[in-house]
Amino acid sequence: MDLRVKAVAMRFGFVLLVAAQMLDTMSGMSTCKTLDQEIVRQKRIEAIRSQILSKLRLPKAPEANETGDKEEIPTSLLSLYNSTKDMLKEQQIEVQSTISPEQEEEEYFAKVLNKFNMTTTNLTDSSKIMFFNMSEVRRSVGDAALLTSAELRMLIKNTRVREEQRVELYYSSGGSPRYHASRFITNSMKEKWLSFDVTEPLQHWLQQTEEEQSFQLRVFCECGQPGSIFSFSISGTDHIRGDTATMRQRSEQPPYVLTMSIPQNMSARFITNSMKEKWLSFDVTEPLQHWLQQTEEEQSFQLRVFCECGQPGSIFSFSISGTDHIRGDTATMRQRSEQPPYVLTMSIPQNMSARLTSRTKRSTAAQETCTAQTETCCVRSLYIDFRKDLGWKWIHKPTGYHANYCMGSCTYIWNAENKYSQIMALYKHHNPGASAQPCCVPQALEPLPILYYVGRQHRVDQLSNMIVKSCRCG
């Protein structure tokens, strides 16, 4: 990668967005002073209220709509919500990887979830080809850069494996299948999901123009050995005719791809009269990184007024400092007094970029759950009921969740011999208003999928970093 790209890879951004990134940790309720538990609980509840609205980009909670509340939820959305829950349960078992600084802002906002069922299939004894409608994927996801993850999921049925059977996944690429990954199937996997991370193939397909693409599941075969056949079946892929086929199709779950993507209108903002003489900011890290890989001398941003399809065009109801076209002496005076739009970047010094290596942060972790006797940093249980605690009726599922928060002292790592304390003492000297000692803050957080409605429209979104699982002193 070009040195200039490395130099900016750390973070472009604006103060407003940096402040927004702090909300996850703040809403996890760090405690640096001894506080009454009920006060902490109420603060945590109010932080969660703001956190959910912020992640969904809602200026306020949607008004209660009796029609929307009583309206039947589409089966497809219920299926999407349940599939997302199943996937998260499986992921929670795995070791969580550290999120890089470049991903923090992207992880903060709610992601759009979409489920794409297999459209058709072509089966043999040793191969299963599953086709997907890419036109539908493009309409829902948009550009490949917006796709953050994609997972292919298949429900295993009727296992009759002797010990284990290896299967390989291929994806269509330029008219020929390309190897992607492999798995081992055992009898214990009956009625369980077989899943593959297919983010890379989906991103590749989104950059193509084909209306249909396919995954191919093959039974592994050693060179020179006779071909093997599947020792299991996959739900929703059997070729059955007549009434039995109709009944099976209704009861079985076909293979599907579950995608998570950044909303296509992520860079939209709402302007109100209260924003007069205030800054409007956008995170433009990704465009700047893209431009730095190009050779053009000049690039541009375009700000447009949103217009509904089929509606007459709107005009700006506000002006932006430094952008008015004025001539003569008045223009000179205005230019001196006004602040034109600008890009504020934060980058790694070019003479240091070569030394950068990825490091895992070390911190004192508190894995235990608080008890009545616990005084040190720990996870304190807190269940949020959306209706009772927040007064919200617009979230259908779940009815509530265990948000939890961090509480307890961190004095056991605060001593004069500790190098960390010396650094913090220096920081305290230059920042008199900062905390006098390390705080008990969230270390591991998990996402929360929700099924909600705005007006009469139902949606499924995943909110990142909503459930505190462990705490640390930091």
Q: Let me know if 260 is exposed, middle or buried by CB neighbors in 10 A (0-12, 13-18, 19+).
A: buried
pLDDT at 12: 41
Long-range contacts (CB closer than 8 Å, 24 or more residues apart) made by 315-322: 317/271, 318/271, 318/275, 318/276, 320/280
Helix (H) or strand (E) holding 46: helix 37-55
Sequence ranges of the chain with CATH classification 2.60.120.970: 111-261
Sequence ranges of the chain with CATH classification 2.10.90.10: 3-93+280-288+321-349+366-473
Fill in the amino acid letter for 66. Answer: E
Full DSSP string of 220-236: ---TTSPPP--SSEETT
The runs of H, that is alpha helices, within 234-368 are 243-251, 285-292, 329-337
Q: Using one digit for the tens of pLDDT, what is the confidence trace for 86-112? A: 887 777 665 444 444 445 555 666 788
- Residue 22's Cβ-side half-sphere holds a number of Cα atoms within 13 Å equal to 7
Pairing of strands 440-454, 400-402: unpaired
How far separated are the first and last CA of the chain, in Å rounded? 33
pLDDT at 249: 52
Return the structure tokens found at 430. Answer: 């230059």
Query: How does DSSP classify residue 167?
Result: E
pLDDT at 21: 43
pLDDT at 286: 78
- The CATH classification number of 111-261 equals 2.60.120.970
428 close to 436: Cβ distance less than 8 angstroms: yes
Return the structure tokens found at 221. Answer: 């075969």
**Closest to 463 measured CA to CA, from 81, 117, 17, 40:** 81
pLDDT at 200: 94
Which CATH number among 2.10.90.10, 1.10.540.10, 3.90.1150.10, 2.20.25.90 corresponds to the domain 3-93+280-288+321-349+366-473? 2.10.90.10
Is the whole model's pTM more than 0.75, yes or no? no
Pairing of strands 120-123, 127-133: antiparallel
- Supply φ then ψ for residue 274, to 5 degrees: -70, -10
Return d(Cα 127, Cα 66) in angstroms, integer. Answer: 50
pLDDT at 361: 38
pLDDT at 359: 39
Return the structure tokens found at 412. Answer: 């056991």
Per residue of the chain (474 residues), give pLDDT as tens: 444 444 444 444 433 333 334 445 445 555 454 456 788 888 889 999 999 998 888 888 887 665 456 667 888 888 888 888 888 777 766 544 444 444 555 566 678 889 999 998 888 877 899 999 999 999 888 888 889 899 999 999 888 888 888 899 999 987 788 999 999 988 888 888 999 999 999 999 999 999 999 999 988 876 656 667 888 889 988 754 444 444 455 567 899 999 998 876 656 677 888 888 888 888 888 788 878 888 889 988 888 776 654 556 678 888 888 887 666 566 565 666 678 898 888 777 776 555 444 433 333 344 467 877 777 888 988 999 999 999 998 898 899 999 998 888 876 444 444 444 444 555 555 555 555 567 888 888 889 999 988 877 888 888 988 999 888 887
pLDDT at 118: 93
pLDDT at 29: 55
Return the structure tokens found at 273. Answer: 């009269």
pLDDT at 415: 42
